[in-house]
Amino acid sequence: MHEMSIALSIVEAVEERARQEGAGWISEIELLVGKLAGIEPESLKFCFSAAAAGTLAARALLAIEEPEGVGECGECGMIFPVNFYYAECPACRSLRVKIISGEEFLIQSMTIEEEEE
Amino acid sequence: MCDTCGCSTEGGAVLRKPGQSDYHVHVNEHEHAHGEHHSHEHGDHHHEGSGRKVVLEQDVLQKNNLLAERNRGYFEARKIFALNFLSSPGSGKTSLLEKIIPALQQCFPVAVIEGDQQTTNDADRIQALGVPVIQINTGSGCHLDALMVNRAMKELEMQNNSLLCIENVGNLVCPALFDLGEALKVVIISVTEGDDKPLKYPTMFHEADICILNKIDLLPYVEFDAAKCRENAMRVNHHLEWFELSAKTGEGLAALREWLEGKMAQH
């Protein structure tokens, strides 16, 4: 259940930046959470509402984009979609697969509103 | 609300030292002000309700990662080789440390940071070996983070050129995401668990550098296929360094000790 401390990190990061920008409140936060990042988006959303209570992000909508996992075979170089860390190359059956996408975990952007409501 | 799990209102981690019941340092994790209101005078300008987009492109765990890098720099400067021990509860992390530290101490100084939700039981066991140890009690927290380790290492008397063993909270899920500044992650499984554990908890095995199969003295009594377990672990992470041992009987411990001594020499 690490989603709670992660939700708090997100609130802390966006709130700090929003204050620098002189925002009244934050209406939307865009996150990039790769399917292999080890984060449950639903759990994160659930925790976020508790973590954001009483902050500038209290009413922010959490928009989560979830890039698919992509692996690259270390033997034959094939690039293919992966759902798990223990992927096998579909071409040569090698297990020497490097994850090249799907582990992203970023705060992309936020939308700030000037007016305090 | 807890800063980590959301389970209670008393969430902050606490540092403790064995045998010093009045020693007690709070680790404040999050210092953001809740419910803070600021008035904000606006001129006549209006934005017609539409907000302004601010690009952050920032790693969510950036704060932890930056602090972990600071810890790593501190360890490097003092030539401290830090290992992060991870496993489910009860797979023998503390027993392994109890067994291997006396042997390692012949070659170099060792210090230990213990992580548990409550009690100094593990730190008490380590202190009996005569090595510097500090206990982090995470309260309801399910993992150690870089800030807790940063505070703990400042309270711990560590020598230069030493080995630091950080025993994380027993949990195969959450600690995988939090870099502490360690040189290597060591994941431990025991034969009383399932041999498919690496497939069930792939993130942890994917992040680890070393995998130790413990309690091999019990292999005759349990349905556990060590070769299968190794194969499963390698499927998740083919870079894993693999060891099989029994912290109880000492079988297989020499290989790990020699490997660690080699790493310390290169370090």
Tens digits of per-residue pLDDT, B48-92? 457 899 999 999 998 899 999 999 999 999 999 999 999 999 999
**Which of B34, B49, B54 faces A55 most closely, judged by CB atoms?**
B34
Residues A54 and A90 both lie in one domain: no
Cα distances from B260 to residues A8, B105, B237, in angstroms, run 37, 12, 20
Taking the CA of residue B188 and the nearest CA in chain A, the distance in Å comes to: 18
Please calculate the CA angle B73-B76-B82 and round it to the nearest 5 degrees. 100
Mean pLDDT of A107-116: 90
pLDDT beyond 70 at A77:
yes
Reading the block at residue B14, the tokens are 């606490």
If one counts every other C-beta atom within 10 angstroms of the C-beta of residue B127, the result is 19
Cα–Cα dist B193/B224, whole Å: 8
Residues A80 and A91 both lie in one domain: yes
Residue of A nearest to B6 (CA): A4
pLDDT beyond 90 at A2:
no
Kindly state whether B58 is in contact with chain A, defined as any CB-CB distance less than 8 angstroms: yes
Is B52 within 8 Å of A21 when comparing Cβ atoms?
Answer: yes
A chain contacts of residue B52, beta-carbon cutoff 8 Å: 21, 111-114
The phi and psi torsions of A69 (rounded to 5 degrees) equal: -75, 140
Residues of chain B predicted below pLDDT 50: 1-10, 30-48
User: Domains in chain A: how many in total?
Assistant: 2
ipTM of the complex: 0.85
The CATH number of residue B190's host domain is 3.40.50.300
Mean pLDDT of A74-80: 94
Least confident of A33-42, A46-55, B48-57: B48-57
Residues A72 and A62 both lie in one domain: no
For residue B204, being part of any structural domain is answered with: yes
A chain contacts of residue B196, beta-carbon cutoff 8 Å: none
User: Domains in chain B: how many in total?
Assistant: 1
* The predicted structure's pLDDT at residue B4: 39
Which domain does A63 fall in, by range?
1-67+102-117
Is A50 within 8 Å of B6 when comparing Cβ atoms?
Answer: yes
Kindly state whether B57 is in contact with chain A, defined as any CB-CB distance less than 8 angstroms: yes
For residue B65, being part of any structural domain is answered with: no
* The predicted structure's pLDDT at residue A1: 60
Residues A62 and A76 both lie in one domain: no
- Please state, rounded to an integer, the average pLDDT across all residues of chain A: 91
With contact defined as beta carbons under 8 Å apart, do B98 and B126 qualify? yes
Cα–Cα dist A19/A41, whole Å: 26
Residue A116 — very low, low, confident or very high, per pLDDT cuts 50/70/90? Answer: low
Kindly state whether B238 is in contact with chain A, defined as any CB-CB distance less than 8 angstroms: yes
